[in-house]
Chains A and B, each alone.
Chain A
Amino acid sequence: MDAAAPRIYLDHNATTPLRHEVQAVMAAAMADAWGNPSSVHALGRQARDVVERARAHVAGLLGAVPEEIIFTSGGTEADNLAIRGLARAAWVAKGPRCKDQSPHVISSPLEHPAVHGALAALAAEGFAVTLLPVGPAGEIDAADLRAALRDETVLVSLALANHEIGNLYDVAALAALAHQRGALFHCDAVQGVGRVPFNVQVAGVDAATVSAHKLYGPKGTGALFVRRGVSLDPLVAGGHQERERRGGTENVLGIVGFGEACRLATAEAPGGMAGTTELRDRLERQLLDVPGARLHGLLSERVPGTTNLGFEGADGQLVLIGLDLEGVCVSTGAACTSGTLEPSPVMLALGLSPARAREALRFSLGRSTTAAEVDRAAAVTGQVVSRVRAATPVAIRP
C-alpha cells in the first residue's frame, strides 16, 4: 500500500465517523452532565435535561413525540425490544381471541441479523414465523404480505432500507396491510434514517428502530420509537428508566451525541443526500465497466449511498482485503469479524448461488465522500479484481 495515499472510507453502512459538532456536545456533556438523570438533586436534573433535549431531537427527526422514544444500547437491542416486546404484549391481548392457534409473526429473509435473532427467540417460545418470499432484486410484494397475514398474526417486522443492498421499501403500504388484519408493524429504520425522509406518522408504523452511529453519532446508542398507546413487554428486569420500558442508567454521553446527530440530520435533511446519490451512480458506472461485474438489488429505489456488486470469479473477501491494503475500506456485507465465510443470507435470498453470493461487495458512501475518492476506489477495484482473478484461476470455493 502506498503509505502516502489517504484511506478512502466507503463503508458508511457499517458505521459513520463522529461529526465534529457531535464530538463537541459530547465533550461538553462529559464535563457538565455526569450526574445520574434519575437523581433528584441539581446534578441529576442537569443530566436529565440533556437527555430530554436529546430525546426531543430524536423524536423530531422521526416525526414522533419525545415520550415515544426509548433509548437503547443500539439497533440490535432496539430490534429485540420491539420484536420480542411487542409480539409478547400483543399476544396477551390477541391470544384469547385466537383459540388453538400459535401466535404468528411475519418478516423477510432480507432482515438484519438482529431481527432474525429476535425472531428466533420468539420461535423458541412457540411463535410461528413466516418469512416472505423475495424477488431477484430484493423486491417484497405487498400481495405476499397480504396472503401471509392471519388472524393470529401479531407483528410484521420489515426494514425501511436493506443494510446490504440499500433497497428501500414502501413501509407505509406494508404497515397499512398489517393494520388491516390487526397486526402491529415494526420497521428497522437503521439504514434509512438520516439518508431518506422517514416520518413515523406518514409511514404509520407502530415501532421503529434507529441507531446513532449510522448517522454520524456515537456507537452504543440507539432508540426504539413505540407509538403512544402500544404496549410493550420490557426485556430488562428491574430499573424504572425510560418509563419502565428499558431499565438501566441512561448512557448520557451517547444519548447527547445521538440527539445532536439527529438535530443536524433534521436541519440538513432536504436535498442533503442528492450529491451522495450522484457520487454513488458515478462509482457504480465505473465499477460496472469492470468485466464480469453485476449489480445486486433494486436499482430504482435505494438509499443514496449504497451499491452492492459482484465480480464474477473474484472472491469478495479477497477483493475486500486487496482493497484494504490499497487503502480502500468496503465490506462484503456480512459482518465477518471472526472470519467466518458463510455467504450472506441476503444474497442467498436474492437467489444467488453460494459461490456468487461470496462475490458480493458493498460500497457505501457518506457525507464526506468525494468524486476523487470514488474515481480512485473504482480504479483500484478494477486492478484488485484482476489480480484476485489471476491468483485464483480455479474457483477458490466450489
Chain B
Amino acid sequence: MSGGVDSSTAAALLHASGVEVVGVTLKLYNASGTSASAGGRCCSPRDIDDARATAASLGFAHYVLDESEAFSRAVIDDFLGEYAKGRTPNPCVRCNEQLKFGPLVRFARAVGASSLATGHYARLVPGSDGVRLLRAVDREKDQAYFLFGVRVDDLAFVQFPLGDLNKSQVRQAARRLGLPNCDKPDSQQICFIPDGDHKAFVERHGAGGRAGDIVDESGAVIGEHAGTHHFTIGQRRGLPSGGADKRFVLRIDPATGAVTTGPRDRLGRWAMHVADVRWLRPRVPGAPLRCDVQIRHHSTAWPATVTDSGVSSTVGVEFEQPVDGIAPGQAAVFYQGDCVLGGGWIATEGASDFPAAQPPRLTPPENQNPRLDPLA
C-alpha cells in the first residue's frame, strides 16, 4: 500500500470481499523534512500515513517495512550510475524488478499470507504451464511493462485486483468504499524526485554525465552542453535551433560527452541489443521469436524478431520497421498480444552494430497476421 488510491482500493476490494487483509507499506527513501510529501508521492511520510489511515478506517492491520537502504542501492544508485554512463534509466522498472516484490513476497509468506496483492494495473492468468502476465484492461493505466522483471515464482504468489478495472471504476470503488484518499491525485513523477527535476537530482548527487559538444551527424560542432544526463535519445529540448530542420538527439557518447543530433528521419533504428533478459514464458532456446517489443512505458509495441545473440541473457531484436527513440538503459519488453513473454534492458541501440536505416535482415513471413497497436 503506497498510500495512493490504487493500492488502497485493491486492499479495500479484497477486504470487502471477505478476504483477511494485512496492509504493508514499503518505506523506500527518507523524505522527512523535505517537501517531498507535499505532492503525495509514494512512500513519503504523508503517504505512509495515508496507507495507515486507509487500513485503520477499514479495520485491518498495517505495517511499514523499511527498505530504504536496499532502495538506495538498487534503484537510486543505479539511476545515477546509468545517467553517468550516458544512458536513460527507468527506476520504476528497476524497483519492481529488484526491490518491491522480493521483500513483499517474503513478508507475506512470513506472516502466513496465502497471496500478495498490489495495486498494479496488470492481469495474471493461471494456466497449466504457469501464470501469464497480461496487460491491464485499462490501456492508459497498464503497468505490465514494469513487471517483466518480477520472478516467475513470485508472480505465482501475486494477485492484481485492479487488472480488470479501469481507473474511473477504481475511483468509484474508492468513493463507494469510503476511502480517505479516494480523490488523491495520481502520482506522475519518479517517487524520489518529487519535483520532477531529474537533472538537478543527478547533479545534487554529483553523478552527471560528461559535459561535451553537441554535434551533427558529420561530427561538426554545433554547440556544447553541461552534461550528457541532460539528454535522452529522441529528445528535442535543449538543442540549438538548427534553422528549418528540427534536431533530435540521435546518440550519446558517454566517453567523449558528444551528443550527436540530426533530423527526425535519422532517429529510426532497425535493431537493438537487449541485455539481462528474463523470460516469464517458456521459450524454445535458439529459435527466433516473433513478438511485439515495447521500448518504453506508454510506447507502441513494435513487431520484431528476437534472436539469441551468442552472449548469455543478451538477445538481438530486429524490428519490422525503423523505430524511433530507442534509448539504452530503458526496458525492452516482449509481448505476444497482451501477454508479457519477458524483457530486458536496452544495451545498444544498434548504431554501430546495426547501422541506421539498413533494411531488415529477416524477411517478414508470408501470411503475417495484421498487427494491432495494443495501445490503440
Residue positions of A touching B, CB distance < 8 A: 1, 315, 317-318, 321-322, 324-325, 336, 338-341, 387-388, 390-392, 396-397
Residues of chain B lying within 8 A (CB to CB) of residue A318: 106-107, 110-111
Q: Is the pair B112, A339 in contact by a Cβ cutoff of 8 Å?
A: no
With contact pairs A339-B65, A339-B66, A341-B66 given, residues A325 and B22 touching in the complex (Cβ less than 8 Å): yes
Residues of chain B lying within 8 A (CB to CB) of residue A336: 66
Which A-chain residue is minimally distant from B70 (CB atoms)? A397
Residues of chain A lying within 8 A (CB to CB) of residue B48: 338-339
Interface string of B63-97 (1 = CB under 8 A from A): 11110011000000000000000000000000000
- Chain B residues 7-28 with CB under 8 Å of chain A are 20, 22, 25, 27
Q: Is the pair B25, A390 in contact by a Cβ cutoff of 8 Å?
A: no
Which A-chain residue is minimally distant from B113 (CB atoms)? A325
Q: Is the pair B65, A317 in contact by a Cβ cutoff of 8 Å?
A: yes
Chain A CB within 8 A of B109 CB: yes
Given the complex of chains A and B, what is the CA–CA distance between A397 and B74 in angstroms? 13
Known pairs A325-B22, A339-B25, A391-B109 / 8 extra A-B pairs, C-beta < 8 Å: A318-B106, A318-B110, A318-B111, A321-B63, A321-B111, A387-B110, A391-B107, A396-B106
**Least Cβ–Cβ distance between B147 and chain A, in angstroms:** 21
With contact pairs A321-B111, A339-B66 given, residues A392 and B25 touching in the complex (Cβ less than 8 Å): no
Chain A CB within 8 A of B103 CB: yes
Interface string of B102-145 (1 = CB under 8 A from A): 01001111111000000000000000000000000000000000
**Least Cβ–Cβ distance between A276 and chain B, in angstroms:** 28
Q: Is the pair A338, B45 in contact by a Cβ cutoff of 8 Å?
A: yes
Q: Is the pair A324, B61 in contact by a Cβ cutoff of 8 Å?
A: yes
Residue of B22, B25, B103 near A396 (CB, 8 A) is B103
Q: Is the pair A338, B27 in contact by a Cβ cutoff of 8 Å?
A: yes
**Least Cβ–Cβ distance between A359 and chain B, in angstroms:** 13
Given the complex of chains A and B, what is the CA–CA distance between A1 and B22 in angstroms? 11
Which A-chain residue is minimally distant from B73 (CB atoms)? A398
Which A-chain residue is minimally distant from B65 (CB atoms)? A339
Residues of chain B lying within 8 A (CB to CB) of residue A396: 103, 106
With contact pairs A317-B65, A339-B48, A339-B63 given, residues A322 and B110 touching in the complex (Cβ less than 8 Å): yes
Q: Is the pair A387, B61 in contact by a Cβ cutoff of 8 Å?
A: no
Residue of B45, B103, B109 near A390 (CB, 8 A) is B109
Q: Is the pair A322, B66 in contact by a Cβ cutoff of 8 Å?
A: no
With contact pairs A338-B48, A396-B106 given, residues A387 and B63 touching in the complex (Cβ less than 8 Å): no
- Chain B residues 154-183 with CB under 8 Å of chain A are none
Would you give 12 A-B contacts (Cβ < 8 Å), ordered by A?
A317-B65, A318-B107, A321-B111, A325-B112, A339-B63, A340-B66, A387-B109, A387-B111, A390-B109, A391-B107, A396-B103, A397-B69
Interface string of B43-71 (1 = CB under 8 A from A): 00100100000000000010111100110
Residue of B22, B64, B69, B110 near A339 (CB, 8 A) is B64
Q: Is the pair B66, A391 in contact by a Cβ cutoff of 8 Å?
A: no
Given the complex of chains A and B, what is the CA–CA distance between A318 and B109 in angstroms? 10
The residue among A322, A338, A339, A390 with the most chain B CB atoms within 10 A of its own CB is A339
Q: Is the pair B110, A391 in contact by a Cβ cutoff of 8 Å?
A: yes
Q: Which 5 pairs between the two chains have the least Cβ-Cβ distance? A: A339-B64, A391-B109, A341-B66, A391-B110, A388-B110
Given the complex of chains A and B, what is the CA–CA distance between A19 and B220 in angstroms? 84
Residues of chain A lying within 8 A (CB to CB) of residue B25: 339
Residues of chain B lying within 8 A (CB to CB) of residue A390: 109
Residues of chain A lying within 8 A (CB to CB) of residue B27: 338-340
Which B-chain residue is minimally distant from A340 (CB atoms)? B66
Given the complex of chains A and B, what is the CA–CA distance between A340 and B63 in angstroms? 11
Given the complex of chains A and B, what is the CA–CA distance between A391 and B114 in angstroms? 12
Q: Is the pair A391, B63 in contact by a Cβ cutoff of 8 Å?
A: no
Q: Is the pair B106, A392 in contact by a Cβ cutoff of 8 Å?
A: yes
Residues of chain A lying within 8 A (CB to CB) of residue B22: 325
Given the complex of chains A and B, what is the CA–CA distance between A282 and B112 in angstroms? 27
The residue among A1, A315, A321 with the most chain B CB atoms within 10 A of its own CB is A321
Given the complex of chains A and B, what is the CA–CA distance between A322 and B108 in angstroms? 10
**Least Cβ–Cβ distance between A354 and chain B, in angstroms:** 10
Which B-chain residue is minimally distant from A388 (CB atoms)? B110
Residues of chain B lying within 8 A (CB to CB) of residue A338: 27, 45, 48, 64
Residues of chain A lying within 8 A (CB to CB) of residue B20: 1
Given the complex of chains A and B, what is the CA–CA distance between A303 and B45 in angstroms? 36
Given the complex of chains A and B, what is the CA–CA distance between A338 and B20 in angstroms? 24
Given the complex of chains A and B, what is the CA–CA distance between A339 and B111 in angstroms? 17
Given the complex of chains A and B, what is the CA–CA distance between A338 and B51 in angstroms? 12
Given the complex of chains A and B, what is the CA–CA distance between A390 and B22 in angstroms? 19
Given the complex of chains A and B, what is the CA–CA distance between A388 and B110 in angstroms? 4
Given the complex of chains A and B, what is the CA–CA distance between A339 and B61 in angstroms? 14
Which A-chain residue is minimally distant from B103 (CB atoms)? A396
Residues of chain A lying within 8 A (CB to CB) of residue B63: 321, 339
Given the complex of chains A and B, what is the CA–CA distance between A390 and B110 in angstroms? 7
Which B-chain residue is minimally distant from A339 (CB atoms)? B64
**Least Cβ–Cβ distance between B300 and chain A, in angstroms:** 39
**Least Cβ–Cβ distance between B14 and chain A, in angstroms:** 16
Given the complex of chains A and B, what is the CA–CA distance between A318 and B48 in angstroms? 18
Residues of chain B lying within 8 A (CB to CB) of residue A339: 25, 27, 48, 63-66
Residues of chain B lying within 8 A (CB to CB) of residue A388: 110
Given the complex of chains A and B, what is the CA–CA distance between A139 and B106 in angstroms? 36
Given the complex of chains A and B, what is the CA–CA distance between A324 and B61 in angstroms? 9
Which A-chain residue is minimally distant from B45 (CB atoms)? A338
Q: Is the pair A387, B106 in contact by a Cβ cutoff of 8 Å?
A: no
Q: Is the pair B110, A392 in contact by a Cβ cutoff of 8 Å?
A: yes
**Least Cβ–Cβ distance between B153 and chain A, in angstroms:** 12
**Least Cβ–Cβ distance between A322 and chain B, in angstroms:** 5
**Least Cβ–Cβ distance between A140 and chain B, in angstroms:** 31
Which A-chain residue is minimally distant from B27 (CB atoms)? A339
